Amino acid sequence: MTPVKNIVTVSLDYPQKARPAQEVEVTLKLTDDLGKPIAGEATFWMVDQAVLSLAKERPLDPLQNFIVDRETTMAARDTRNMAFGIIPLEETPGGDAGLDEWGADNNVSVRKNFTPVPIYLPKVIVGADGIAKIKVKLPDSLTIFKLRAKAVSGAERFGFATGEMLIRQDLVAQPALPRFVRNGDSFDAELFGRIVEGPSGTGRASLKAEGLKLAGPAEQSFAWEPNRPARIDFPVSVADAAPGKDSVKLRFTLQRDADQARDAVEIDLPLMPDRQRVTRHEIFDVAAGAVVSLPSVTASLRAGSLQRAVTIAADPTLVRLIAGLNYLVEYPYGCTEQRISLASAALALKPFGAVLAASDLDRRLSDDVHNTIIAISQSVDPDGLVAFWPRARGNVSLTAWAYGFLIAAQKAGEPVDKALSERLATVLKLSLRSDYARLINGEELRERVEALTALAEGGQLDAAYAAELSRRAASMPNVTLAQMTAVAARLPGDDRRIMGALLQDMWSRVQILARNGKQVYAGQAADDGDPEILPSEARSLAEMTRAAALAAPEDSRSRVLRDGLIHLGEGDGWGSTNANSAAVRALAAAWKRPGAEIPISVVEGAATERLVLGADAPVGRVTISGAGEVRIENGGGAPAVVLADAAYLPAEPGYLAQASSQGFVVTRKSYRVPADGAPLEAIAPDQDGALRLKRGDIVEEIVELVNPQDRVHVAISLPLAAGLDPLNPNLATAPREAAPSLDPTLAPAWTAFNDDKVFYAYDTLPKGNYRFAFRAKAIVAGSFTQPPGEAETMYQAGIYGASAGRRIIIAR
């Protein structure tokens, strides 16, 4: 029986065909079961058909959620004529199929620089006339857009509607390109000219490229064959990129001579590095009236790849704050903790715009906060704890850091997800109990205090738990004791009496010596902890510095802790994202603008740049254009501190990079996957060391990792050549050949199939040998660099391993 009284009939009136960039009107109508107009509310969106091919679309009819099948119901189902595993829309990559296949009317190619969702309206109000008109500005995509609407009228009527709109024009230019490029790559930039309407005959095609060198003419004439597209090849190679350049641009123009019909397409391709950049960060002191010379860069480096800059400040705190921020900005992996660390540090420095600007964080702060909130929400496990990666197992410590970040963002005036914040607060309150099942074995006290500290920052301090936990101070690690001291400083009235004993215990853990008549920090009492929750001397000292600033701001030892934290920092900060964030937040809380003005001159060859450091400009940054010697002249009466940064690519191309072993051993082999299901065929390098493939080949990459001891937080990054397209077996629409011959030896906490690499992450990796396998398809003809595969520990510098680089040559 159809529940007609619970159905609102939704209809969409729109043009069936449209042109790119056209503004169209969609009329949404609501009627009841008698065909009479009815008021209501709807959600309306349009989506590129190719997006829906990535997975099965969820049911649109909301009414089904309210109808329960009874046990007596029987349904007969016949699957003999159903197709399983077929993509509802199969994208046709340019040039990857035979030319005969290009004659289909519904041939769709996703243009990745055009938006796949031109409109999404979560709330469309429909009046009593039952009509709502929606204006849609179409993107430049030549595709099919699916229209979707879900509606409700009152509390008991639901409905939906679907449709599709063809975006067409007389002449279509369809480039066939890799998804990205690397330095040294060379390939044919293919353009397919397809006639939708009108005569064939002759035509012209041209290519204008930025960041690419053309090996042939930029304009070519050709002739169409009846009912077949024309293919025009433009041989190109990737030029040496200018510093800071992260993309190349191609603009194709296609014209039909008969009627001058034209189409033009502009595409930006990401420019990925062909090997790891070499970075150097050094800190120098420049005494009052002194001159310091920065040596020239003498390494063999690639033309155009050198980036140098000096950051100068009167306050050593400021230079190290910027060094820590730079480390956080440049860190590559982006797990939940690393996002929290970056955004938390930036929030702490939000009042000091000059400091954020020195690390280019001033314009992106709000975006970083927003993206971090999304990352946290995606990383909450079934027990409500935040994990380092989506769908991984969370822990209390990271949940506390996440909640603390949300509170800091809210206090800084940034929009936050209040429901998420309340969820995390609820689970943190549960974790205060000693019998909470998700506390890490052996770290129960540390994690309970982490939770208590975060709740205190959110104004939900539980005095009873504070009193209970403070009685166990003698058993606390240094960082936990410091946090407990800071919590006690927030207690009201008589409850603060426990702070004195905690503070005294904290001072007993710190080694302070007298040198040249001054007190200096000389270390802490022996401390350790489960490496999974990132213990470090820098973080312990940062928490002690914050606790002393709250509980004993007048104690001279507070300044000793702060100075000790400053001098623990190097040119790249304090060693890890977690330690950097803690140190930045601790130092930012006490930083004050300098008063005296200091004139500084930066001399590079015949060029001199002058700046004055002071209260209005506490930090200066100068870009160095060359590799030669640079002089820093301090013309003031107070010392200055200089952070010198240099980054470059070695002159040797990435495919010649040698294997490296500094704690991990990584080897990588390639196998061709026969179409008939025969055993894998090993691909041996030719006499030049290149691996040769043909377009359409399926390749299986098998990577072996040797890990000689138990480790935590391991990242494994396996770059791909630009002519290869990774096959993700986890997609609902993945073809059968996407599944590799073996699963990882140990299931990773997180796996990501990106355009340019396959990435695995482990929260814990026991010692042993591990194998990984994934597949890719050769889709673009050319010669490409495949950089070394890498493995490293994310929070312990220097533990690293890499395979050798390769050259991949793909023939037609």
Q: What is the pLDDT of residues 17-54, one digit of tens each?
A: 998 888 999 999 999 989 999 999 999 999 999 888 77
Instruction: Of 334, 239, 212, 272, give the one whose Cα is nearest residue 756.
Output: 272
781 vs 430: CA distance, rounded Å: 58
| Assigned token pair, 503 | 């503070």
pLDDT at 245: 82
The one-character DSSP state at 179 is: S
Instruction: Of 658, 615, 537, 585, give the one whose Cα is nearest residue 408.
Output: 585
Q: Note whether 703 and 772 are within 8 A (CB).
A: yes
Mean pLDDT of each 10-residue bin along the chain, 812 residues long: 83 93 94 93 93 79 65 51 40 35 34 75 95 94 92 91 92 93 95 91 95 95 93 93 82 92 92 92 94 93 90 92 93 96 95 85 92 97 98 97 98 96 98 96 97 97 94 95 95 80 95 92 90 95 95 92 94 93 92 82 94 89 94 94 94 94 97 92 93 96 98 98 95 90 97 96 98 97 97 96 97 92
Output b/e per residue, 337-355; b: 16+ Cβ within 10 A. bbbbbbbbbbbbbbebebb
List beta partners, residue 380: 386
- The amino acid at residue 648 is Y
Output b/e per residue, 674-690; b: 16+ Cβ within 10 A. eeeeeebeebeeeeeeb
The one-character DSSP state at 277 is: P
For Cα atoms 712, 718, 721, give the angle at the middle one, nearest 5 degrees.
170
pLDDT at 698: 97
Q: Note whether 256 and 171 are within 8 A (CB).
A: yes
Instruction: Of 114, 54, 141, give the one whose Cα is nearest residue 89.
Output: 54
760 vs 749: CA distance, rounded Å: 8
Could you give the C-alpha distances from 618 to 99, 134, 582, in angstroms and in order? 64, 52, 22
Query: Please, what are the domains in the chain?
Result: 4-167 (2.20.130.20), 171-272 (2.60.40.10), 277-315+594-651 (2.60.120.1540), 316-588 (1.50.10.20), 654-811 (2.60.40.690)
pTM (predicted TM-score): 0.86
Number of H helices, E strands in the chain: 14, 41
72 vs 59: CA distance, rounded Å: 24
Instruction: Of 505, 494, 588, 503, give the one whose Cα is nearest residue 547.
Output: 503
Q: Assign 160 to helix, strand or coil.
A: strand
Q: Note whether 275 and 654 are within 8 A (CB).
A: yes
Instruction: Of 419, 400, 417, give the one whose Cα is nearest residue 409.
Output: 417
Torsion over CA: 264, 268, 269, 273 (sign): positive
| Assigned token pair, 717 | 């990054």
Give per-residue pLDDT as tens, 739-771.
999 999 999 999 999 999 999 999 999 999 999
Write a three-state SS string for 735-803: CHHHCCCCCCCCCCCEEEECCCEEEEEEEEECCEEEEEEEEEEECCCEEEEECCCEEEECCCCCCEEEC
Q: Note whether 173 and 264 are within 8 A (CB).
A: yes
Residue pointed to by tokens 């000091």: 352
665 vs 681: CA distance, rounded Å: 24
What values do phi and psi take at 447, rounded to 5? -75, -35
Q: Note whether 269 and 247 are within 8 A (CB).
A: yes
Instruction: Of 207, 175, 202, give the one whose Cα is nearest residue 190.
Output: 175
| Assigned token pair, 169 | 């024009």
Output b/e per residue, 569-603; b: 16+ Cβ within 10 A. bebbbbbbbbbbbbbbbbbbeebeebeeebebebb
Characterize the bridge pairing of strands 247-256 and 202-210. Answer: antiparallel
DSSP 660-678: EEEB-EEEEEEEE--TTSP
641 vs 772: CA distance, rounded Å: 47
DSSP 388-409: SSTTS---HHHHHHHHHHHHHH
Q: Which residues contact 71 (CB under 8 A, 6 or more apart)?
A: none
pLDDT at 84: 40
Q: Which burial class, exposed, middle or buried, applies to 332 when counting CB atoms under 10 A from its CB (0-12, 13-18, 19+)?
A: exposed
Characterize the bridge pairing of strands 157-167 and 17-18. Answer: parallel
Write a three-state SS string for 222-256: EECCCCCCEEEEEEEEECCCCCCCCEEEEEEEEEE
